[in-house]
Amino acid sequence: MKEGDVKKQITISVILVSVVSLILVLICGVVYLSMKDTQENEAQKYMKEIVSQYKNIITAQIDGDFRTLDAMSAFIGQRDTIDLEEALSCLEEESSRNDFIRMGFVSADKTGYFVDTNGEKYYDVDISDETFIDKAFLGEAVVSEIMDDRFSEGTVVCYGVPIINNGKVTGAVTATRTTADFSEIISQDIFDGAAYIHIIDHEGNFIIRSDHAVIRKHLDNVFDGGDIPDDIRASILADMEHGGDSFATFRYGGKAYWVTFIPVGINDWQIFCLVPQTFLNHNFNTMFLVFLCVMVCVFFMFGILFFYIYNLLKREHEALNIFAYQDILTGADNRNRFVTDLPALLREPADYAMVLMNMSGFKFVNEFFGFEKGNLLLQHIARVLEENLAQGERYYRDNADHFGMLLYYKSREEIISRMKKIHQDINDHVISPNQDYRINCNFGINIIQGNEPRMKNILSPDAAINGALLALNSVNGNTSNPIAFYDEEIHEKARKKIEIESQMHAALANGEFHMYLQPKYYLGDQTLHSAEALVRWCSEDGVMHYPDEFIPVFEENGFITELDMYMLEEACKKVSCWMKQGYQVRPISVNQSRVFFYDDEYLDKFHDIVDRYQIEPSLIILEVTESVAMSNLDQVKMVIKKLHKMGFTISMDDFGSGYSSLNTLKDLDIAELKLDREFLSEQSTSPKGKVVVESIIRLARELSITTVAEGIENERQLEFLRSISCDIGQGFYFARPMPVDAFENKVLHGPLAEPKPDGN
């Protein structure tokens, strides 16, 4: 990493620190506002709970007073004629019991008769001017507004309850209580004496005051003398007008207060509570101070981390440079360095050969001789490449045993000669003195021609390397011909593979894969035995693709499993259709991929399909290639045994195409053995070959295994197979693979006569 790059990284770090710092400041602001909002909500909730308790005490007092008056009203109203002295005596006794200052009786002409708690009585008092009495005579239980006591000094609250006799209001019972009784209720200390409560009307005028006040100034209205915005005042008055509660912030004398208003439910009375914000904000301020300290610590630690990273970048930039562009084990350039420098190299006026090289079986070197020996071999290869390069040529190590070179190109013969020389020098290395081990290398070469830089600028580094990689893949593991040059054929093969892989999923979803059937006949009487399901891909543009074009690609990328399951379902669907149509049903054989034998859900999938179409499993012949069976005999043996128990017929396909083992026939529970067409063609042309084929068929017959010969193309092969008692045959001699409807018309419905050589 250059000094300029270090400065660039530091500049980026400074920007990042600034951005993160700004983000942290914003977070502080958001947290502060969130905490403040939460604190306000908590204050509102807390104050409302406290004030509601006082409201409940006041309403409980008033409700109790009303119950007392209701009882006296019922007592007095039960008689048609009221004994005034007796009534006053009862009222005097009840007044002293309930702490009223007086109680009284009001006649229908609104003349009052009252008795104080001390026994003093007042007769013939005209109270027609009292509005609360008017409401009582309308049948309501009423509480008066605050009024001056007409018989003594001070302010009082009067109650009025109608006296009802025979359904008519004949008078009223009254009681008087001093406002000091209510003031005493709301004068208790709350919030450690830091707050006060008053009772006000809906306009904010004080009705009943408590004995203490936070604001040491006499106010007639709660909105007097304060810094209260007009919109807040209007909102509070509107809430009180409609009997709702309110919560707001008031400022008196430069101090902020939380205030709440809660309706009492009597007249238009409101309980007004005011608390300094500093009292309720104590916990909030403490929490925010702690949060602020934490954020300061975070900033401090962040600053330390920044300076640490700064110093680390300054000290370690050379080590990072080596790590980014050099292979640690061999000291050679790595792929990053090579790809970075390649565009400049290609602009030079010269022809180049891009060469990729790997070793076949390098993992066995590590396994047999140890990783230390493997590392020594890689270091030796790097030295060989460096010694064989001319001035201006480059090499690099990609990964594991993969190396790349950019060489000057003169001719194919010259490049091939240089690769052989490199291969020979690599094999001069002795991996182990006790064992001679030959190192096999493969080379993929992409020729980059054109002396004009303008032409080669079109070629990207990836394209140059990928061309060599495609050539290398074409000979990977090939020891007889280890060198390949990238050409149009390799390019077309790779392009075709990509095209197939890009279309295969859509093709399956769109039903472009079609099942073709090739009949199989008993060789004895040439009657129809079964059919083999073969796949054809008919794309939307009408082009027919044959299996040898796409099956190898599907086997490589794993899509073959989806195609095999699709073909199995198509076969089951067709067998079910034949059964419903009343045809003489013949089995259909379907090829199966090796992947299914390692899938735990394999058996369940098969069982679900045959159950879905309600067919017997014996009508489906599952073909397993010999190579699948030989790759993991124990696993395949277990799966085939389970499939056989489920009722499926198992056939071993392509027997003789690989390293066949007769033990396979003994170990696997198969019902059918198919001889590979190439095996049959080669063996039937020589006396020894005929003996081998005859021996296999005889052995299979003794093991109760049906034999099938595929690839029968002429009368001579047919007669040979009959002579050695082969059971079943298929091939172009009988019929080519055909669409399902053609199979139904020509084979399934047609006469089971001896087929003609032309396959019709």
Q: Is the pLDDT at 752 greater than 70, yes or no? A: no
- Higher-confidence residue of 573 and 592: namely 573
Quote the pLDDT of residue 529.
93
Q: Is the pLDDT at 269 greater than 80, yes or no? A: yes
Amino acid, single-letter form, for residue 58: I
- In this prediction, residue 9 has a pLDDT band, given cuts at 50, 70 and 90, of low
Quote the pLDDT of residue 667.
77
Quote the pLDDT of residue 729.
94
Q: Is the pLDDT at 11 greater than 80, yes or no? A: no
Quote the pLDDT of residue 186.
83
- In this prediction, residue 407 has a pLDDT band, given cuts at 50, 70 and 90, of very high
**Cα–Cα distance for residue pair 28/526, rounded to 1 Å:** 91
Amino acid, single-letter form, for residue 392: G
Q: Is the pLDDT at 716 greater than 90, yes or no? A: no
What is the percent of the chain where pLDDT is above 70? 88
* Whether the predicted model's global pTM rises above the 0.75 cut: no
Q: Is the pLDDT at 734 greater than 80, yes or no? A: yes
- Higher-confidence residue of 363 and 145: namely 145
- Higher-confidence residue of 758 and 523: namely 523
181-192: average pLDDT:
80
> Which residue in this structure is represented by tokens 């106010």?
219
- In this prediction, residue 319 has a pLDDT band, given cuts at 50, 70 and 90, of low
Q: Is the pLDDT at 36 greater than 80, yes or no? A: no
Quote the pLDDT of residue 385.
94
What is the percent of the chain where pLDDT is above 90? 32
Q: Which long-range contacts (CB under 8 A, 24 or more apart) does 203-210 make?
A: 203/237, 203/240, 204/236, 204/237, 204/240, 204/272, 207/145, 207/146, 207/269, 208/146, 208/179, 208/182, 208/183, 209/183, 210/183, 210/186
Quote the pLDDT of residue 165.
87
| Mean pLDDT estimate for the chain | 84
Lowest mean per-residue pLDDT among 171-180, 349-358, 681-690, 717-726 = 681-690
Q: Is the pLDDT at 760 greater than 70, yes or no? A: no
Contacts of 295 (CB under 8 A, 6+ apart): 24, 28
pLDDT in tens, 492-502: 888 888 889 99
Four-point Cα dihedral 116, 122, 125, 131, nearest 10:
0
